[in-house]
Chain A
Amino acid sequence: MAVPIYIPKLGMTMSEATIVEWHAAEGAFLEKDGIALTIETEKVTWNIPADAPGFLHILVEKGKIAKVGEIVGQIAESNDELQALQKKGPAAGETVSGPPETESRQAEAGTGTADSPKPQKAAPASPAARSMAKKLGVDLSLVTGSGPNGRITEQDIVKYRENKSETRITPLAKAIASDKGVDISGIKGTGDRGKITSDDVRKATEPPKQDGAPSSGITVIPVTGMRKLIAGGMYESIQKTAQLSVFNEVDVTGMLEFHQQVREKYRNTEDARVTHTDIMVMATCRALKRFPIMNSTFTNDEILLYDWVHMGIAVSVSEGLIVPTLKNADRKSLLEIARERKALVEKARDGKLLVDDVVGGTFTISNFSMYNADGATPILRRPESGILAFGGIKKKPAVYRDALAIRSMMVVSLTFDHQVTDGAEATQFLKAVCEYLENPSLMVL
């Protein structure tokens, strides 16, 4: 009969736990007292040992939350029992009957779980064999004795261990090998400690590839370094914030004229070369001062409003995307913004950014006008509450002073955290940004 693995109650107020890790794969053999799984409850991880040796059947997968007493896995005594459990095992969510005993109480009482069978009685064994079995972690009830009256000897323990190591194979792999008549002695296992997996058996049954034969067509790219960092950050942002995006199309003809004037005025001053991005930073800062809720952090209990704007500016580099932070951007002139932003971008592209250059952002902008995309739904950078994306500038027919004209148009996209504020205020903020881009002279007011 299968032995259940359940969530123990580790405190009066504990009601559930997260399955952090199964230490063996479905169908793998577990030694008695070997760690079967790790659970976590409020800053504590707890290793749960197997109460009996056998084959693991997982009912609740890693990452899921299970209630106290819920049966999350089972240990089958044999392969046959495992296969029966896999076909029609009890549904996840079933609980042990009665309040579960804690781990140490079970140990003190010398029994298994509420509905687990008593361990099979082991054959008699010599003291030396018992000592060896204890040392090697071998369950004597699984060893066949070769001595008088089936008495287990040291030799039997050694033989049992050798046989076990020779046949380290998952139940599924064993079934496939048996079905296809494959000799497993020639298969090199790629599983845990050389265990033969079902994939190993399948590969062994495939015909050898001819030279020049097409590959599977799949190229595997390991996710490491900056890609991994971006992936983790983006995924977590989506999970932990309520993101809503709104868009505005803005006439930036005025911004382009303003930019041209500034460029001409400072054309001989290389370190003050103002770009569209600098004007966008300034326009955003001005709007944030009018709508401080957009320059904030949501902390579950509180919303923190910042007196300063540390502007994150997305920069594309060869390894991916990095967002250096222009500190106190709201207190700087356009030329200061231009100088400092340029220095940060150069450091980013040379891989010389320091922690100080990337932490502490309160809002982010991403100018992807060079990619000619119209709009986007940018993802928030936690713990910030807003991010603006500026799309490509395109000449379009537009109504200007009540007449049709060719104007330079750009879509501005805002994503904000709906936990912090609502659509009305966010769109007002977006409108303010657009007004400054439409008429940059308003920024001096």
Chain B
Amino acid sequence: MRLRIDAAGDPVAAISENINVMDWGLLGYGESVRRQLRLVEERCSGAAGDSLILVEHPLAVTLGRSGGQGDLLMPETYFHREGIELHAVSRGGKATFHEPGQLVVYPIVKLRDNDIRRFVLTLLESAAAVFQAYGLPPEFKEGRPGVWVRSRKIASIGLCVTEGVTYHGLSMNVNNDLQGSRLIVPCGHAGEVFTSMAKELGASVNMDAVKKIFVGEFKKRFRYGDEREQVTD
């Protein structure tokens, strides 16, 4: 099934003309949430504009608002013993995992029309365009936001919206070894098989190039300008 942006085929209009793109490199999951919340507060108050964060996390498992202990395949004590971060988070969805080599993007964006579904679809389309650029045919499933390649899941999504501002976001499996997927019932779907770009292509992928393509697709689809783009570490 291919995904349309909306019924009329119109791209989503951006809320502000510019977006601040930030690359946080490899950062702990907990710290990234703290930083996101600061940005959300600033966006809500008008002290800052929209932001797009690019980041990789050390191995971590997160449980969204619909998730529970039943989504973990190991006891909590195992996570503590092995030093794997385990977080209950405010985003939608169930269990997901993060690990180095996975590109995570967090759009801190003020929505204009509150059409969150259209926002989600456009965000997924931005990720799908990256896979397409590498010759990997993206697939979508009705009623299950995410991106698959050859029936294997390659990108997951989970967002939270407060005062019309989005946070949390999308993870794309680029070069990660998918070890984290073995700790959870992914997104509540038993039997889900994960893949990565590297696995599908048989070789590791240049992460900087993936970031560049994603940012370009995101800005194009959400109609952001280039004038004040900043890339900061």
Contacts and interface: CB of A to CB of B under 8 A. Distances in A.
Contacts of B143: 42
Nearest to B84: A355
Contact of A104 (B7, B93, B112, B117): B112
B114 to A, nearest CB: 4
Interface residues of B, number: 47
Nearest to A223: B69
B157 A225 contact: no
Contacts of A20: 65-66
A42 B92 contact: yes
Contact of A382 (B76, B118, B161, B190): B190
Contacts of B189: 299-300
Interface string B48-79: 00000000000000001110111111111110
Interface in B1-51: 6-7
Contacts of B92: 40-45
B117 A14 contact: yes
A170 to B, nearest CB: 25
Contact of B159 (A11, A44, A231, A304): A44
Interface in A228-256: 228-229, 231-233, 235-237, 240
Given A21-B65, A38-B65, A236-B70, A11 B118 contact: yes
A41 B162 CA distance: 14
A40 B191 contact: no
A18 interface: yes
A41 B111 contact: no
A89 interface: no
A103 B164 CA distance: 8
Contact of B70 (A8, A103, A233, A360): A233
Contact of A232 (B64, B68, B93): B68
Interface in A3-30: 8, 10-14, 18, 20-21
A238 to B, nearest CB: 10
A382 B185 contact: yes
B15 to A, nearest CB: 10
B228 interface: no
Nearest to A47: B162
A103 B66 contact: no
Interface in B136-174: 141, 143, 145, 157-164
Contacts of B162: 35, 46-47
A383 interface: yes
B227 interface: no
A413 interface: no
A319 B7 CA distance: 54
Nearest to A235: B70
Interface of B: 6-7, 64-66, 68-78, 90-93, 111-118, 120, 141, 143, 145, 157-164, 182-183, 185, 189-192
Which 8 residue pairs of A and B lie closest in terms of their CB atoms, listed nearest first? A11-B117, A383-B190, A232-B69, A232-B70, A236-B70, A297-B191, A102-B114, A47-B162
15 contacts: A10-B115, A41-B117, A42-B117, A42-B120, A43-B64, A45-B159, A46-B160, A102-B113, A103-B114, A104-B113, A226-B75, A235-B70, A236-B68, A236-B70, A236-B71
Given A42-B145, A44-B91, 5 more contacts: A12-B118, A43-B157, A44-B92, A229-B72, A299-B192
